[in-house]
Structure 1
Amino acid sequence: MKAYLFPGQGSQFLGMGKNLYKNSHFAKQLFQLADDVLKFRITSIMFDGTMNILKKTKYTQLSIYIYSVIKAKILNNFEPDMVAGNSLGEFSALAAINVFSFEDGLILVNQRASVMQEICESTNGGMAAVLGLEDSIIEDICNKDRGIIVPSNYNGPKQLVISGEKEALKRVCFSLEKKGAKKIFILPVHGAFHSPIMDPAVKKFENFINKIPFKDSKCPIYQNVTAKPVMKSNDIKKNLVKQLTSPVRWKQSIENMIYNGATSFIEIGPRNILKGLVKKIIENFSKKI
């Protein structure tokens, strides 16, 4: 069974999409459609922009979504048995399997990025990746801190991202170093994504997403919030809203996909950044069974 995976922020690169634009007439049409829908030239930022512009949340999310969906649309024999997307990648996955249209996905991602950017600019949050410790140790230290700090991305075995207030982040990172973390590095993001700090964005995004028509999925999508297969449109919508403040259960999603029959994983995005994580998850899962 084939599982298709779609990456989130961090997979962008300068010039992304230019080759797709040049080599596929259908891809060219979709890139032009993106410019028309957004009412600005996102293609100029993707093809010829600077990294300083591309790394801004608003442009990063749109660029990765556009690239990933177009790449899926021009693939021969794109018939997934199941899909999953890492954070933003969930939107790419849903557009690729036609739960909503490419155009509606653009509007959704643009709105999501805008409300997230707004929160980032009004709060003092950050994120850090922690390597080499069991999830339970990290969860316990986060729970004991007096500030807002939570696990936000269960990326793989002994690889967990934490998210929250910068002062709490410093305290928790110091405690995790003393607990024996092999490596801790602050992520180059401007906010505390997938944490309670994003709560003010929830209602705005919920009101917006309810205006967008969704279809039931033709194959299971393993959503970040539950890590379980979902196909009903209303459930998919609710999970997309919850994703703003809930952790990305990527490790658990891949494990559940394996358990339910996935035999191959194909990544669709600007760069193969999920490949290494999936390999480690598979190796670790094999030891459990």
Structure 2
Amino acid sequence: MLAVPPAEAAARDLSKLRLLRRARSHQDRLGRKPITVAFLFPGQGAQFVGMARDLLEGDPGSTEFLSQTEDRLAMPLGRLMMDGPEAELQATENAQPAILFHSLALLRRLVANGIEPGAVAGHSMGEFAGLVAGEALDPLDALAAVRARGAAMSAAVLPASGMIAVLGLPDGTVEQVCAGSGGLVVVANYNAPGQVVISGSEAGLNAVSPQLQAAGAKRLVRLPVSGAFHSPLMAGAAQVFAAVWERMPLRPLRRPQVFNADAQVHQDPMEVRPLMVGQLTGPVRWTQSIQRLQQLGADTYIEVGPRRALTGLVKKILPGAVVHNIEDVPSMTAYLKTAHAG
């Protein structure tokens, strides 16, 4: 067997992310091929110092992918992921490409081992990984997009703004309280039943917090984020990102992706492109997205990326679902043994 140079092997592996059974159309997947396995990709908040370390050790394909990524983004992403410092990694413009790289490195290895999803969904920024898995977006373009997205979000942050997780209230109750804030606070994430995140100005958050407690909220948890993401306060970021995003090549999706904006499947780039801009100012409908995947036929959900936040959310949304988490080499090895045994 001829040895394949690392760069050539990496290019071949990356191409697999764009050539996942091109012979089958999107409608084939929706209409004739049963969807049983859905890949889920995490968003911001999944980053940590030391991430992706074992994915890069001893894997020439992943190290070459990292080299290509660092060249494209002109940043020391590997150092930030593995060594920090933490404050620098937590910056939105750094955290987003770090999380996406981690997810795509895992995706590359899953595809190389013959594991493909029937459908995909991503939480907020994770939707870009979904576009790669769906063959609509090249990996390096996706990484450049989230780098620009993160930078735009950081630049748009207002000093007195933030996000709060509201635990233990029905969605409608939280929506009603936010509606009375005069637009100062909105629902940002519908993460799971009884777990909603609100976003807005500091004054608005301070005003609605006692109202939510009076309505019966079990806990209010201030999130460690720099601004009011997924709210109208990100309108400036959306405008800046749109100018970058419109220049990125985007192809029709070749596998179903359920999008956060409306919890529906979209294929046409003309529909997908504005959805990816609108997510900056609109809510993440994660509960509804998982329910939609179930309606499509998914009964097994695999979180592909750092940490396991989405795994816990899916278990709350669909208590009877089969849920796996693939975040590193040991978890991938364990899953592959199970998958190949079956």
TM-score (normalizing by structure 1)? 0.95
Query: Any unmatched runs of 5+ in structure 2?
Result: 1-35, 322-342
Shift of residue 110, structure 1, vs aligned partner: 0.9
Which string of whole-angstrom CA distances, capped at 9 and with x for unpartnered residues, describes residues 97-125 of structure 1?
321111111111111001100011x4421
Q: How well do the aligned residues superpose, as a CA RMSD in angstroms? A: 1.3
Q: Does 1:58 align with 2:93?
A: yes
Q: What is the CA-CA distance between 1:51 and the residue it aligns to?
A: 1.5
Count of residues paired in the alignment: 284
Structure 1: stretches of 5+ with no match in the other structure: none
Hey, what does 2:307 align to over in structure 1? 271
Of 138, 141, 156 in structure 2, the residue corresponding to residue 104 of structure 1 is: 141
Deviation digits for residues 27-53 of structure 1 (CA, Å, limit 9, x no counterpart): 111011111111121111011112111
Q: Percent of aligned positions with the same letter in both sequences?
A: 38
Where do 4+ consecutive residues of structure 1 move more than 6 Å?
A: none
Max radius of gyration: which structure? 2
Please give the alpha-carbon distance, in whole angstroms, between the structure 2 residues aligned to 1:99 and 1:40. 25
Output the CA distance in 2 between the equivalents of 1:78 and 1:242: 31
Specify the code of the residue in structure 1 equivalent to 2:136.
V
Matched, 1:247 2:292: no
Q: Does 1:145 align with 2:144?
A: no
Among 200, 203, 210, the residue aligned to 1:174? 210
Is the Cα contact below 8 Å between 1:73 and 1:96 reproduced in 2?
no
- What is the aligned counterpart of 2:67 among 29, 32, 37? 32
Match of 2:293 in 1: 257
Conserved 8 A contact 2:134-2:256: no
Q: CA deviation at 1:13?
A: 1.6
Deviations 1:117-148 (A, max 9, x none): 0011x442100000100010110010011351
Q: CA deviation at 1:203?
A: 2.0
Indicate whether 1:187 and 2:223 are aligned. yes
Question: Aligned partners of 2:182, 2:246: CA distance in 1, in Å?
Answer: 35
TM-score, normalising length: structure 2: 0.81
Distance apart, 1:25 and its partner CA: 1.4
Structure 2: distance between partners of 1:124 and 1:102: 35
Q: Deviation string for 1:210-249 (max 9, x for gaps)?
A: 1110011111111110111111122111100110100000
Match of 1:125 in 2: 161
Tell me the alpha carbon deviations over residues 164-206 of structure 1, each in whole angstroms, 9 at most, x when there is no partner: 0011011111110111101111000010000000011222222
